Amino acid sequence: MADSVLQVADEWAIRFDGVSKRYASGEAGNGPAAVHDLNLDVRPHEVLVLVGPSGCGKSTTMRMANRLVEPTSGRILLEGDDVTDVDPVQLRRRMGYVIQNVGLFPHRTVAQNVATVPKLLGWDRRRTRDRVDELLTLVGLEPSRYAKRYPHELSGGERQRVGVARALATDPPVLLMDEPFGAVDPVGRRRLQTEFARIQRELGTTVMLVTHDIDEAVRMADRVAVLSEGAHIEQLAPPLEIVARPATDRVADLVGRGRTARLMSLGRLERADLEGDEAGTVVDGPHVELGTDLGDVLDHLVDEDRGGVGVPVWENGQAIGRVTGQSVLRALRRLADEGRTGEQEPLALADDEAATA
Ligand SMILES: Nc1ncnc2c1ncn2[C@@H]1O[C@H](COP(=O)(O)OP(=O)(O)O)[C@@H](O)[C@H]1O
Ligand SMILES: [Mg+2]
**Is the model's pLDDT at 352 over the cut of 60?**
no
Query: Residue 91 has what pLDDT?
Result: 87
Does 2-256 match 258-357 in CATH topology? no
Separation of CA 61 and ligand 1 centre (Å): 10
Separation of CA 325 and ligand 1 centre (Å): 47
The Cα 166–Cα 97 span in angstroms is 9
**Is the model's pLDDT at 9 over the cut of 60?**
no
pLDDT tens for residues 120-131? 888 999 999 999
In this structure, which residue's CA is closest to atom 5 in ligand 1?
Answer: 23
In this structure, which residue's CA is closest to atom 26 in ligand 1?
Answer: 55
The Cα 117–Cα 110 span in angstroms is 13
Annotated domain spans of the chain: 2-256, 258-357
Q: How many CB atoms are closer than 10 A to CB 219?
A: 19
> Measured between alpha carbons, how far is residue 130 from residues 77, 127, 137, 310, 346 in Å?
32, 5, 11, 54, 55
The Cα 166–Cα 161 span in angstroms is 9
Query: Residue 102 has what pLDDT?
Result: 66
pLDDT band at 260 (very low <50, low <70, confident <90, very high): confident
322: buried, middle or exposed (CB in 10 Å: 19+, 13-18, 0-12)?
A: buried
**Is the model's pLDDT at 154 over the cut of 90?**
yes
> Measured between alpha carbons, how far is residue 172 from residues 3, 45, 164, 200, 300 in Å?
14, 12, 12, 12, 42
pLDDT-wise least confident of 43-52, 149-158, 283-292? 283-292
In this structure, which residue's CA is closest to atom 8 in ligand 1?
Answer: 60
The DSSP 8-state label assigned to residue 102 in this structure reads: T
What's the CATH code, domain 258-357? 3.10.580
104 φ, ψ (degrees, to nearest 5) = -70, 150
In this structure, which residue's CA is closest to atom 25 in ligand 1?
Answer: 55
Mutate to test the pocket of ligand 1, among 19, 21, 59, 176 (most ligand atoms within 8 A of CB): 59
Separation of CA 139 and ligand 2 centre (Å): 24
**Is the model's pLDDT at 256 over the cut of 90?**
no
Q: Which residues line ligand 1 (CB under 6 A)?
A: 23, 25, 34, 54-60
pLDDT tens for residues 192-206? 888 888 889 888 999
Separation of CA 54 and ligand 2 centre (Å): 7
In this structure, which residue's CA is closest to atom 20 in ligand 1?
Answer: 55
Mean pLDDT score, 101-117: 90
Query: Residue 353 has what pLDDT?
Result: 44
The H-or-E segment that residue 234 falls in is: strand 232-237
As a whole number of Å, the end-to-end CA separation of the chain is 51
Separation of CA 21 and ligand 1 centre (Å): 10
pLDDT tens for residues 288-326? 999 998 888 988 998 888 888 899 999 988 889 999 988
- Fold held by 2-256: Rossmann fold (3.40.50)
Buried residues in 102-129 as b, exposed as e (16+ CB within 10 A)? bebeeeebbbbbbbbbbeeeebeeeebb
